[in-house]
Structure 1
């Protein structure tokens, strides 16, 4: 049995999330399947009723993919309800290089990524540097989902 992993993130605005997480993960918006000019054309070809295609959805990608084909596809599923409560699962963006890299260098790498992500719409929740040799920053994406940069 073959297993394919897809990460699905509920959200209010898939296009905002596609733009943000493409930048955060180094992914790209997923092109429509071969033979289809747009996602809307693809979904219509599959028989999805027009009323099930939210306005603006399916014209633009609602998913992102790893250009190297190594990481999982990420699909941003539009839902009507807002995020409620703390995430039970979160992503760690590991940019520091690990414990073999001096903490000052790791912190600089983390801070650089945090700067780029803040410009892209993320917010910093807290800095975790309370233990010797550990440095990470907890952030929120544009819709309030928490993730860490370490």
Structure 2
């Protein structure tokens, strides 16, 4: 699985918190893709790739994330739908 982002290291950090993932290895330079993996060894490898262009079209893939909504929003998530979730 691969995700593209202008600030790919920040996005990799966000997904690590949201999914319980960790960086696999060390980034060689700020321009290198960042591989992240499930800390428990269960989930798929995700590559977070740097791109220079801004997003211009709808995402073709999304992952549903369950967790502390307030924490995820404070880390930069956007709450799209709040169905049965309390966010005090």
TM-score (norm. length: structure 1): 0.50
Give ranges in structure 2 of 5+ residues lacking alignment: none
CA RMSD of aligned residues (A): 2.1
Corresponding residue pairs, total: 85
Residue 83 of structure 1 corresponds to 55
Q: Select the structure of larger CA radius of gyration.
A: 1
Higher helix share: 1
Residue 71 of structure 2 corresponds to 116
| Match for residue 46 of structure 2 among 74, 92, 95 | 74
TM-score (norm. length: structure 2): 0.79
Counterpart secondary structure, 1:92: coil
Higher strand share: 1
TM-fit CA distance, 1:12: 0.6
| Match for residue 125 of structure 1 among 53, 60, 80 | 80
More relative contact order, 1 or 2 (CA 8 Å, 6+ apart)? 2
